[in-house]
Amino acid sequence: MTTLPRKESDSQKPLRLGLAGLGTVGVGVMRVLQTNAAMVTHRAGRPIEVVAVSARDRTKERGVNLSNVQWCDDPLDLVLNPDVDVIVELIGGAEGIAHKLVYAALEAEKGVVTANKALIALYGNDLAKLAKQKNIPLLFEAAVAGGIPVIKLIREALVADRLKKVGGILNGTCNYILTNMAKTGRPFQEILSETQKLGYAEADPSTDIDGFDAAHKLAILASLSFGHSVDFSGVFVEGIRDINPIDLKFAQELGYTIKLIGIAQQHEDERIELRVHPALLPSQSNLARVNGVTNAVITDGEFSGRLMLEGAGAGEGPTATAVTADIIDLARGNTVPMWGTDFTKLRPAVTIQREEFVRAYYLRLMVQDKAGVVADITAILRDNQVSLLSLLQRGEKSIENPDFPVPIILVTHKTQESSLLKALEQIRNLDAVLEEPVIIRIDNA
Amino acid sequence: MTTLPRKESDSQKPLRLGLAGLGTVGVGVMRVLQTNAAMVTHRAGRPIEVVAVSARDRTKERGVNLSNVQWCDDPLDLVLNPDVDVIVELIGGAEGIAHKLVYAALEAEKGVVTANKALIALYGNDLAKLAKQKNIPLLFEAAVAGGIPVIKLIREALVADRLKKVGGILNGTCNYILTNMAKTGRPFQEILSETQKLGYAEADPSTDIDGFDAAHKLAILASLSFGHSVDFSGVFVEGIRDINPIDLKFAQELGYTIKLIGIAQQHEDERIELRVHPALLPSQSNLARVNGVTNAVITDGEFSGRLMLEGAGAGEGPTATAVTADIIDLARGNTVPMWGTDFTKLRPAVTIQREEFVRAYYLRLMVQDKAGVVADITAILRDNQVSLLSLLQRGEKSIENPDFPVPIILVTHKTQESSLLKALEQIRNLDAVLEEPVIIRIDNA
């Protein structure tokens, strides 16, 4: 007897969707399904129909045809609707109505497709358990890096491999801001305001610029890659608010580019290092060259080696393409356990603290230009086992005004972060050190 | 009644493989399955076992454990073996035993996983028909770009989108040779010999260096992307044998890098342009920076925009990872029609001839340095509606020896290739033109 699973000649009946949220992505999904209806039907093997939608404002003109679609003021009514097979949740947010809707859909044994990274990062373990109990698929390709199909990559294409590292440039807003700060030399706040005007940053930008959006994505990628339960609270997060144009300039002089990166690494003892922070990347590296709103994801596997995917991390078309691909997987009957393996097989996540990170560091100290300052600083570093790769001192302005703070740039060899933090505590207390020291990690990603 | 396809609690029984071919990739698949056995079982939801193998030499030491595996001298015996559910064909070649084996497997209703790009490029339409008749899956991720999961990308992740372009750097051997020619300035034959010694080129290198390997891959990618039947004979193919270090040098001066690329584009009238040839790429472009044996694939879609994947196009680990991913898709019961859509829905391929290509061109003419040569050449170009972007003449050596051939480098604006070919026919006949003109297409990929 063969044990090859054979596909039944599937139902040719339409797969019927209830779509919650008609923002950029929701409208995009409607547009993709309407524009490519015949092609999608051929490829999926059956028609895919949006039978009901829910959004805030019924009267708003959205540029897509909603005339044959039932309107629900309450998204939860989509779940009660017997004509709906699959809920497409594009409202967003870990709590509130999106949260309720996804749980209600699974309870009602309706399939779920979502782009909600916060929900998956915070409630992913619990959702996997419920989805398994109900034997219902929950897909979320668009939750990480928009149009870059990284979840399919890890959960299917790299399924046979053990990954050692995953991550990359996971937030287009931050990448856009840093790219433009580097290009123009202008300060963070100015560039942020412009980015908001262009629509690449939200009115309340903190989720992006403080690194939480990237951290949600990284927590999801790490869990998929290393087979442990998702642990958002284990991610070390540092945003880009404090990046100063002067550091972008010095970085460039030293052959580096500053990017916000998210990196997850599995250590030999199976503990996980999860970190989102600005980093100096060698300017010739692949990730350093990724500019503007573009995202890029790298994976490093034992057998597969290094892969890099680069593309649109957000935007109507790319994100809608990803959501619709999930819907077609459902229509084709092709599904994978939510975390790539049965959730009972996931190990608990044991994450390491920042004190245990081992990296090279860029330090900028603003000092009074007087005799002995460098000697004091380097002695403190030496006493804390932090060894120096290079030192750059620029004292031009202090010749006329000895009190004018001058920058000293130090680049360390790889060192444990705890040693550096101890050294910094002492350096901070030196009288000649006039401002809070700036530390930026160096990474070769 | 819901029309959501639900997965049965699948059989926990092992999926049983018959593996034909124990070269680099075959041994790699054994190694991946043995090294990651527990993980693969968890992820696939069931064990995956190689129950029988076939290869030429039974006595060869391969570094993997074959003690619990049946040995078949004739690969066709794998098909007759009732313990085998799936044939993994890693012998290669469009004809001969690999061809017989894949057909026999489908006839016997056994699933097939193969890395055989020539077979798929030449017999893919016929195989799709047979696979559909028998309702048996045939998977071939490793056939294109080894460890880069481009087939899954196009057939699943970009399933909802209409692609306009697909292609990239599809042959690692050629990329390695061109990278090293550019780096060292040494001639093709020398670098080829070294590449053969390193094992990056075959003893008979013509499949790689004459562009046929890339053309097989491109034909497959185009068919998947544009939904037409696969048409290898429609690919325009030009290899890298005639690339001269002098052209790499001039290209660099002009801000370009020479790469062997394969590009498939769908025109507005739905005809397909399929071409494999060396091209000058802007040195700052993503593809130009892909060096050594690395491959890269770009896609350009109406909704998804531009995506780029970069990774190992060959090698034991990456290719074995891709083959094993296909096997796990089979074990999970996740399959897609061979060409991404039912084969009856594929349009016939209508490809365009090189005469209709519209590109910018790099021309190198070796001329006698005498009065009026440039005037004659530029007049011919003008009379054939070929307009010039730039002209570079280097006459240093001809000052002492007027008969010494000097290069004239011309870069054209975009022009139809037929116009250029007509102009070249006339230019070739000028007395002052001493060698066969060199033409290389310019592409921004």
Per-residue pLDDT reduced to its tens digit, A270-327: 999 999 999 999 999 999 999 999 999 999 999 999 999 999 999 999 999 999 999 9
Quick count: other Cβ atoms within 10 Å of Cβ A313? 29
Q: How far is residue A60 from each of residues A23, A30, A63, A64, measured CA to CA in Å?
A: 11, 15, 9, 11
pLDDT bucket at B1, cuts 50 / 70 / 90: low
CA-based R_g, chain B, Å: 25
Residue B345 tokens read as 């829905």
Q: What is the pLDDT of residues B349-386, one digit of tens each?
A: 999 999 999 999 999 999 998 889 999 999 999 999 99
Q: Residue B19: enclosing H or E segment and its boundaries?
A: strand B15-20
Are B36 and A320 in contact (CB < 8 Å)?
Answer: no
pLDDT bucket at A354, cuts 50 / 70 / 90: very high
Cβ neighbours of residue B187 closer than 8 Å, sequence gap 6 or more: B181, B244, B245
Task: Please tell me the distance from the alpha carbon of residue B286 to that of residue B191, in angstroms, as a whole number.
Answer: 24
Helix (H, G, I), strand (E, B) or coil at B102: helix
Are A9 and B135 in contact (CB < 8 Å)?
Answer: yes
Interface of B with A in 369-428 (CB under 8 A): none
Q: Scanning the structure block, which residue is given the tokens 């527990």? A: B38
Q: Could you tell me if A24 lies within 8 Å of chain B, comparing CB atoms?
A: no
Contact B90, B23 (CB under 8 A): yes
Are A341 and B160 in contact (CB < 8 Å)?
Answer: no
Are A3 and B13 in contact (CB < 8 Å)?
Answer: yes
Give the burial class of A202: count Cβ atoms within 10 A of its Cβ; 0-12 exposed, 13-18 middle, 19 or more buried.
middle
Task: Please tell me the distance from the alpha carbon of residue A227 to that of residue A13, in angstroms, as a whole number.
Answer: 36
Mutation for A interface: B29, B34, B43, B266, most A CBs within 10 A? B43
Q: Is the pLDDT confidence value at A8 over 90?
A: no
Cβ neighbours of residue B263 closer than 8 Å, sequence gap 6 or more: B165, B166, B167, B168, B218, B273, B274, B275, B276, B443, B445
Task: Please tell me the distance from the alpha carbon of residue B194 to that of residue B186, in angstroms, as a whole number.
Answer: 11
Question: pTM for the whole thing?
Answer: 0.96
Q: Could you tell me if B6 lies within 8 Å of chain A, comparing CB atoms?
A: yes
Chain A: nearest CA to B395, how far in angstroms? 36
pLDDT of the residue at B8 = 63
| Residues of chain A with C-beta less than 8 angstroms from the C-beta of B312 | 304-307
Task: Please tell me the distance from the alpha carbon of residue B83 to that of residue B69, in angstroms, as a whole number.
Answer: 11
Q: Is the pLDDT confidence value at A445 over 90?
A: no
Are A334 and B336 in contact (CB < 8 Å)?
Answer: yes
pLDDT of the residue at B371 = 84
Q: What is the DSSP string of B360-423?
A: EEEEEEEE---TTHHHHHHHHHHHTT--EEEEEE--GGGGT-TTS-EEEEEEE-SEEHHHHHHH
- Catalytic residues of B, by residue number, are 217
Q: What is the DSSP string of A311-343?
A: EESSSHHHHHHHHHHHHHHHHHT----TTSS-G
Q: Could you tell me if B28 lies within 8 Å of chain A, comparing CB atoms?
A: yes
Pseudo-torsion of CA B375, B381, B384, B387, nearest 10°? -120
- Catalytic residues of A, by residue number, are 217
Among candidates B15, B31, B141 on the partner chain, residue whose Cβ is nearest the Cβ of A3? B15
pLDDT of the residue at A6 = 74
Q: What is the mean pLDDT of residues B57-80?
A: 94
| Residues of chain B with C-beta less than 8 angstroms from the C-beta of A15 | 3-4
Domains of chain B: 15-143 (3.40.50.720), 160-311 (3.30.360.10), 355-442 (3.30.70.260)
> Which neighbouring-strand residues pair with A415?
A359
Q: What is the mean pLDDT of residues A214-240?
A: 96
| Residues of chain A with C-beta less than 8 angstroms from the C-beta of B308 | 308-311
pLDDT bucket at A83, cuts 50 / 70 / 90: very high
Cα angle A164, A166, A167 (rounded to 5 degrees) comes to 150
Are A162 and B301 in contact (CB < 8 Å)?
Answer: no
Helix (H, G, I), strand (E, B) or coil at A220: helix
Q: Report the mean per-residue pLDDT for chain B.
A: 95
pLDDT bucket at A394, cuts 50 / 70 / 90: confident
Q: Is the pLDDT confidence value at B293 over 90?
A: yes
| Residues of chain B with C-beta less than 8 angstroms from the C-beta of A32 | 160-161, 303
Interface of A with B in 220-239 (CB under 8 A): 227
Q: Which of A167, A139, A179 is nearest to A325 (CA)?
A: A139
Q: Could you tell me if B337 lies within 8 Å of chain A, comparing CB atoms?
A: yes
pLDDT bucket at B399, cuts 50 / 70 / 90: low
Among candidates B85, B149, B312 on the partner chain, residue whose Cβ is nearest the Cβ of A4? B85
Are B328 and A36 in contact (CB < 8 Å)?
Answer: no
Q: Could you tell me if B324 lies within 8 Å of chain A, comparing CB atoms?
A: yes
Contact A342, A424 (CB under 8 A): no
Q: Which of A441, A432, A264 is nearest to A359 (CA)?
A: A441
Q: Could you tell me if B218 lies within 8 Å of chain A, comparing CB atoms?
A: no
Among candidates B85, B303, B318 on the partner chain, residue whose Cβ is nearest the Cβ of A320? B303
Interface of A with B in 63-122 (CB under 8 A): 85-86, 109-111
Are A303 and B289 in contact (CB < 8 Å)?
Answer: no
Interface of B with A in 126-145 (CB under 8 A): 135-137, 141
Q: Is the pLDDT confidence value at A4 over 90?
A: no
* Crossing angle (nearest 10°) for helices B417-428 and B373-383: 150
Q: Which of A226, A260, A217 is nearest to A121 (CA)?
A: A217
Chain A: nearest CA to B431, how far in angstroms? 47
> Which neighbouring-strand residues pair with A351?
A272
pLDDT of the residue at B384 = 97
Task: Please tell me the distance from the alpha carbon of residue B350 to that of residue B229, in angstroms, as a whole number.
Answer: 9
pLDDT of the residue at B3 = 80
Among candidates A28, A306, A330 on the partner chain, residue whose Cβ is nearest the Cβ of B4? A330
Are A301 and B312 in contact (CB < 8 Å)?
Answer: no
Interface of B with A in 198-217 (CB under 8 A): none
Mutation for A interface: B161, B165, B285, B342, most A CBs within 10 A? B161
Q: Residue A49: enclosing H or E segment and its boundaries?
A: strand A48-54
| Residues of chain B with C-beta less than 8 angstroms from the C-beta of A298 | none
Percent of chain B scoring above 90 in pLDDT: 90
List, edge to edge, every strand of the sheet that includes A70-71: A70-71, A48-54, A15-20, A86-89, A111-114, A138-139
Count of alpha carbons within 13 angstroms of residue A400, beta-carbon side:
2
| Residues of chain A with C-beta less than 8 angstroms from the C-beta of B151 | none
| Residues of chain A with C-beta less than 8 angstroms from the C-beta of B86 | 4
Are A311 and B311 in contact (CB < 8 Å)?
Answer: no
E strands of A57-171, at which residues? 70-71, 86-89, 111-114, 138-139, 163-169
pLDDT of the residue at B12 = 85
Among candidates A28, A141, A305 on the partner chain, residue whose Cβ is nearest the Cβ of B311? A305
Q: What is the pLDDT of residues B76-109, one digit of tens each?
A: 999 999 999 999 999 999 999 999 999 999 999 9
In sequence order, which ranges of A4-112 are alpha helices (DSSP H)? 24-35, 37-44, 76-80, 96-107
Q: Which of A388, A405, A308, A351 is nearest to B295 (CA)?
A: A308
Cβ neighbours of residue B38 closer than 8 Å, sequence gap 6 or more: none
Q: Scanning the structure block, which residue is given the tokens 């309340």? A: A204
| Residues of chain A with C-beta less than 8 angstroms from the C-beta of B6 | 135-136
Residue B236 tokens read as 């325009």
* Complex-level ipTM: 0.95
Are A341 and B43 in contact (CB < 8 Å)?
Answer: yes
Are A152 and B156 in contact (CB < 8 Å)?
Answer: yes
Residue A259 tokens read as 């990017």
Q: Could you tell me if B23 lies within 8 Å of chain A, comparing CB atoms?
A: no
Residue A404 tokens read as 């004018």
pLDDT of the residue at A1 = 66
pLDDT bucket at A123, cuts 50 / 70 / 90: very high
In sequence order, which ranges of A81-116 are alpha helices (DSSP H)? 96-107
Q: Is the pLDDT confidence value at B10 over 60?
A: no
Task: Please tell me the distance from the alpha carbon of residue B103 to that of residue A86, in angstroms, as a whole number.
Answer: 39
Higher-pLDDT residue of A369 and A412 is A412
Q: How far is residue A63 from each of residues A26, A31, A318, measured CA to CA in Å?
A: 12, 9, 18
Contact A148, A321 (CB under 8 A): no
Q: Could you tell me if A2 lies within 8 Å of chain B, comparing CB atoms?
A: yes
Q: Is the pLDDT confidence value at B403 over 90?
A: no
Q: Could you tell me if A282 lies within 8 Å of chain B, comparing CB atoms?
A: no
Q: Is the pLDDT confidence value at B11 over 70?
A: no
Is the sign of the CA dihedral B354, B355, B357, B360 positive or negative?
positive
Are B227 and A39 in contact (CB < 8 Å)?
Answer: yes
Q: Residue B325: enclosing H or E segment and its boundaries?
A: helix B316-332
Cβ neighbours of residue B333 closer than 8 Å, sequence gap 6 or more: A5, A7, A333, B7, B10
Are A152 and B147 in contact (CB < 8 Å)?
Answer: no
Give the burial class of B398: count Cβ atoms within 10 A of its Cβ; 0-12 exposed, 13-18 middle, 19 or more buried.
middle
Task: Please tell me the distance from the alpha carbon of residue A325 to that of residue A24, in angstroms, as a whole number.
Answer: 17
Residue in chain B closest to A25 (alpha carbons) equals B303
Q: Report the mean per-residue pLDDT for chain A.
A: 95
pLDDT of the residue at A241 = 97
* Crossing angle (nearest 10°) for helices B37-44 and B316-332: 40
Contact A118, A94 (CB under 8 A): yes
Contact B186, B243 (CB under 8 A): no
pLDDT bucket at B232, cuts 50 / 70 / 90: very high
